[in-house]
Amino acid sequence: MSGYAGKAGLVTGAGSGIGRAAALEFARRGAAVAVLDLDEDSARRTVELIAAEGGRAEAVAVDIGDEQSVRRAVDQVVAAFGGLDFAVNNAGIASHHQVLTEMSVQEWERVLRVNVIGTWLCMKYELPAMRRRGGGSIVNVASNGGLYAIPGAPAYVAGKHGIVGLSKVAAVDYGPDDIRVNALCPALTKTAMFDGVVASAGAGMVERQAAVTPLRRLAEAEEVAAAAVWLCSPDASYVTGTAMSVDGGRRA
């Protein structure tokens, strides 16, 4: 995979999990990477890991549900690196084991504020920066829940479907600016968020999920991150407006 020398980008939710794995891989391939996270200490830890491997990175605190926070963060990235070539909008929250009719308005709004509005806000400020750069690539991390239903997760599924739709519209609208936009749709992946889902689901959840996955295992964060890095690279130069499954064959 080539094309990252001299490039600069950002990854949201990069303090852990898929986001951290993606930030590390971008840096290994020669990119300057902004590590964005609500938890600034976690972002700094990712930067330390990148620096230990000889890479260049900056930690940036951001609340993707707040427009001014997103604007400041993107401005900070552009100021630090001189522009923006790629972005992985990975930050999000989970919401499972709830029946639609018993959800509160507050919980519904909380999930969509981060997962849908947050992704939209990131693109709102990333796209103009990429246009000034003469092009770029955005990967929005959705979920297999953006492609089909997950029982007991109405807000999460609605939000992830929204991310897929936003990605497709942006791909069409900004294709003439040589900006590619894709959605990445992983199945359950071994991350801190995954640990929380497992804890609430009870014993046997991992085994049950693995049993209905053709590869008979769950994804590692690095495997999902590798797909995001590929989608942002010149190797995927004619790929835009797609929702890529990284699910061990679940969708099939």
Q: Catalytic site residues?
A: 156
| Distance between CA atoms of residues 144 and 197, nearest Å | 15
Among the residues of the chain, which ranges form H helices?
Answer: 17-28, 40-52, 67-81, 105-112, 118-133, 154-174, 192-201, 205-211, 221-232
Are 149 and 196 in contact, with CB atoms under 8 Å apart? no
Are 153 and 197 in contact, with CB atoms under 8 Å apart? no
| Distance between CA atoms of residues 234 and 103, nearest Å | 43
| Distance between CA atoms of residues 37 and 70, nearest Å | 11
Are 22 and 50 in contact, with CB atoms under 8 Å apart? no
219: β partners: 189
Determine how many CB atoms are found less than 10 A away from the CB of residue 29.
18
